Amino acid sequence: MKTWNTKAWNENQLDTPDQIPAAAIDETKYFQSLMSYCGEWGLLDFQEIQGLFAALTEITVKQCLQYNGTDSSSIPLDLAKEIGEGVLYTVNYCLEMMGKPDKALAQLRELSLADVYRQGKSLLKALVNKTKQQYLAMLSHKPEIDSYTYNSTMQAGISGFLKLYDVEFMPHQNTATMDYPLAIGDLPLSGITFLNRYIQYIHYENEFITLFSPWELKSILTKYDPLYGENLTNMVDAVVAVVPEVRLEGFFAELSPNGRAYMARVVQKENIKGTAHKYGLRL
Amino acid sequence: MEREPYFIPMSAAQEKNQISRFLTINEKTRRFGLALTEEQALALNEAKKGALAANGRLELIPGTGVIEKIIMAFCDSVYIGQHNYVETMEELLEAFYYFKNETVDAIGDDDLIQFMRRRFDTVCQGSVELLLHRELETLAYCVKHQISLEEYEAQEADDLENLEYEGME
């Protein structure tokens, strides 16, 4: 059904690495920005792009019909849009996992969009399983803190998200809000990629705060915010603000490389906020 | 973040094909004294688009035949004649899509049309108004409250009987 413009492909020698700069691709709109770039630079012609968008519509229609489950020939527009978002999210995830935009384009050339979608769905399902494992691992090392927001997010929030998460039809949706904020700030992600990253960052934050004894942490938190147990107080923020920088340097040295890199980003954010410190970390 | 869905509207060729399909229905409906002109077929198609838009619905496979199904189900009704044919079909289309929403898509197209058809000739005596505001509302109520229509109607009959009995006393 698909007829690729192989002439344009060869002329542009896209099989050499990095012909499409990664910066040209908006990761939150991978497919759209890849199509836009390829259209602009003649890597795909109009018909090819139109064909890919038509294939996307076809997948969405199939998903809608499957979702309906009855002999309905129509569906509420809002629901169709949501299902369409889910299809796009799945395709985007598959393409993003290719690593480089060139590889993503090669994938689109080699496979039909329906295959890319199927592959994306398998990858997402694998990510859901991985996230569940990471969640259980994180829970087993969770610090005991008398913070309602923290505890309810770690227990009911995350498990609720995983229970309600619909990888089949609504993979882009956040099925529960994570009330406990990250020290790094809001994540520009959604669906399971959001939750996976959130758990990963919480793990780094836990790694840092468990370097403090429970009574020491409690005293730091009380000093930072006497109502920390009820407020949306991030514990890492509290520690960074309260603990003298000379002591913090020692704690950072004890972290894993990933944990240290994460804390470097947090501290960088703190610097932006005006709490300037130098912790001997490469920012 | 603003996101755009991608849907392709029905092409002109598909639309033309759909209109000609409506016209072939005339062969079946003529024996009930009903026929559509090309203009009326176009008007019905527009009414369907309007009903879909007004009820915030999207036809998944354009031209899957909801109009044909409604026409075929209702054409033998004694309450529909050539004089009110198009007007009634337009009202039924509007009612159909409205109640697809109201019944939260729990009832398939064919079942909903069959329900409408059964009530239209019997208890509604050809009134789309009654069909819409009494029968379909009752159906939607039952779907939303997860009770069977029979159960609801039996309860209604009991209530009415009790009311009459109290009146007699």
In order of A180, A191, B95, the CA distances from B87 in angstroms are 57, 47, 12
Please give the average per-residue pLDDT across A170-176, as a whole number. 94
Please give the average per-residue pLDDT across A210-215, as a whole number. 91
Query: pLDDT, tens digit, for every residue of B47-66?
Result: 999 999 999 999 887 766 89
Please check whether residue B138 is in contact with residue B152, taking contact to mean a CB–CB distance below 8 angstroms: yes
Using CB atoms, pick whichever of B56, B61, B65 lies closest to residue A61.
B61
Label residue A278 by pLDDT band (50, 70, 90). very low
Please give the average per-residue pLDDT across B150-160, as a whole number. 77
At A4 the pLDDT is 46
Q: Does B11 touch chain A (CB under 8 A)?
A: no
At A1 the pLDDT is 41
Residue A241 exposed, middle or buried by CB count within 10 Å (0-12, 13-18, 19+): middle
Q: How many residues does chain B have?
A: 169
Q: Does B59 touch chain A (CB under 8 A)?
A: yes
Average pLDDT of every residue of chain A: 87
CB atoms within 10 A of CB A158: 23
In order of A141, A180, A230, A253, B52, the CA distances from A239 in angstroms are 19, 16, 17, 15, 56
Given a cut of 90, whether residue A60 has pLDDT beyond it is yes
Handedness of CA A269, A271, A273, A275 (dihedral sign): positive
Nearest-angstrom CA–CA distance, A202 and A20:
34
Label residue A169 by pLDDT band (50, 70, 90). very high
Question: Which amino acid is residue A123, in one-letter code?
Answer: L
For residue B107, the Cα-to-chain-centroid distance in whole angstroms is 12
Chain A residues with CB under 8 Å of B61 CB are: 61, 65, 73
Query: Are A73 and B61 within 8 A, CB to CB?
Result: yes
Please give the average per-residue pLDDT across B137-151, as a whole number. 87
Taking alpha carbons only, the member of A29, A102, A57 closest to residue B58 is: A57
Q: Does B65 touch chain A (CB under 8 A)?
A: yes
Q: Does B161 touch chain A (CB under 8 A)?
A: no
Please give the average per-residue pLDDT across A53-71, as a whole number. 89
Chain A residues with CB under 8 Å of B6 CB are: 53, 56-57, 60, 84, 88
Q: How many residues does chain A have?
A: 283
Please give the average per-residue pLDDT across A208-228, as a whole number. 92
Query: Are B1 and A70 within 8 A, CB to CB?
Result: no
Label residue A123 by pLDDT band (50, 70, 90). very high
Given a cut of 80, whether residue A10 has pLDDT beyond it is no
Query: pLDDT, tens digit, for every residue of A225-250?
Result: 999 988 999 999 999 888 887 788 88
Query: pLDDT, tens digit, for every residue of A74-109?
Result: 999 999 999 999 999 999 999 999 989 999 999 998
Tokens of A163: 């229970």
Q: Helix H segments across chain A?
A: 6-11, 30-40, 46-68, 77-96, 101-110, 113-140, 148-152, 158-164, 191-209, 214-224, 235-242, 245-253, 257-272
Using CB atoms, pick whichever of A29, A71, A85 lies closest to residue B109.
A71
